Amino acid sequence: MRVGLIVDSACDLPYWFSRRNGLFVLPVTARIDDQTFVDDHDPERTQEFYDSGLLEKGHHAETEPFSAQEIHKLFMEKIVNNYDVAICETVTRSRSLVYDNAMLAMNSVMSEYRRQQQESGSDGNFSMRVIDSKQIFAGQGLLAAHTQKLIDEDRHSKNQLRYEVDAFADTIHTCVIPRDLHYIRERARRRGDKSVSGLVAFLGKALNITPVLFGKGAEAKPAAKTRSFEAAVEKAINYAIGRVEAGLLTPYVSLSVGMSWPEIHALPGLDRLKETCEKNGVELLLSQMGITSCIYIGPGSLCLSLGAEDHEFADFQ
């Protein structure tokens, strides 16, 4: 059974991982000032954005998911003839229209794929599932890595695979460290999202407070407050190290950062996290935050996700 995994460009994963496993990235349109770009996770394009400063404050940046018609076209051209089963995991439905548009596209694909097969001289059944990952950024990347692991094991039916993916999504814990709360507040305001209040943004600016947001999936709440970004990063890294040593439900830790690679490698505690992961047979999926993710949360931010039994952030400090 040929199983293809599709993610959208809000999913943060190392480029080498996506290439090695043949993941198909569903693009998102990024509009920055008067320029329009397609974010398809091309690493050179991503680095150009970081180098150009287009993701910094002062530029009007928005993202827009591909329409159902555009997704339908991609599925028909790139997916139908190459796989027996396709799994499309989208950024959380509560924060984007990608899931809804992908569902519409899937329904139209399922009603038309046989005609395309006949025209191309191919045959066989094709099935597809669109899954709301309930995650953002590194969390979505972690779910994709775990899904690919299940696919590689090749011991699950398509229905079992869907069940396993849904169940694992509910075990993903995520830390987010925003570099600029005002940036998040302004982006949320444009989307009609009131999850970041003006008061929190004001305090972060006036008192130089950097929070560590923690929770399951996209529903994170302040778990710690620090006086610097570096101190917040150390808390998140210490948490991850403690949780890795206590045991994980999948052998991955996903970490994405909205910085240049030299800045990423200089993060406090990163070497300790790498050593702990290697010692415990865990693969650290370290990536530069994609354009879509960076527009959403702001340049300089950090997102860390892992799969584990229920716990609190403070349990590993």
Q: pLDDT value at position 34?
A: 78
Question: Is the same domain home to 220 and 181?
Answer: yes
Same domain, 185 and 273: yes
Instruction: Pick the last residue of a domain from 146, 169, 192.
Output: 169
Mark whether 8 and 152 lie in a shared domain.
Answer: yes
Binning pLDDT at 50, 70 and 90, where does residue 95 land? Answer: confident
The DSSP result for 165-210, as a single string, is: HHHHHTTEEEEEE-S-HHHHHHHHHHHT--SS-HHHHHHHHHS--E
Pair 153, 241 in one domain: no
- The two three-digit tokens of residue 79, written as one number: 């997916």
* 231-282 per-position pLDDT tens digit: 999 999 999 999 999 999 999 999 999 998 999 999 999 999 999 999 999 9
- Find, among 283, 251, 239, 8, the residue nearest to 136 by Cα: 8
Name the packing angle between helices 229-246 and 270-279 (round to 10°). Answer: 10
Q: Please give the tally of structural domains in the chain.
A: 2
Radius of gyration for the chain, computed over Cα atoms and rounded to the nearest angstrom: 19
Domain of 107, CATH number, reads 3.40.50.10170
**Residue that is last in its domain, among 169, 196, 229:** 169
pLDDT at 130 over 80: yes
Please tell me the distance from the alpha carbon of residue 288 to that of residue 133, in angstroms, as a whole number.
20
Q: How many CB atoms lie within 10 A of CB 256?
A: 29
Same domain membership, residue 210 and residue 77: no
Average pLDDT over residues 151-164: 91
For the segment 19-41, what is each residue's pLDDT rounded down to a tens digit? 999 999 998 888 878 777 788 88
CATH assignment of the domain containing 292: 3.30.1180.10
Q: Answer whether residue 81 shows pLDDT above 90.
A: no
Q: What is the pTM of this model?
A: 0.92
Are 117 and 233 members of one domain? no
Domain range for residue 221?
Answer: 172-316
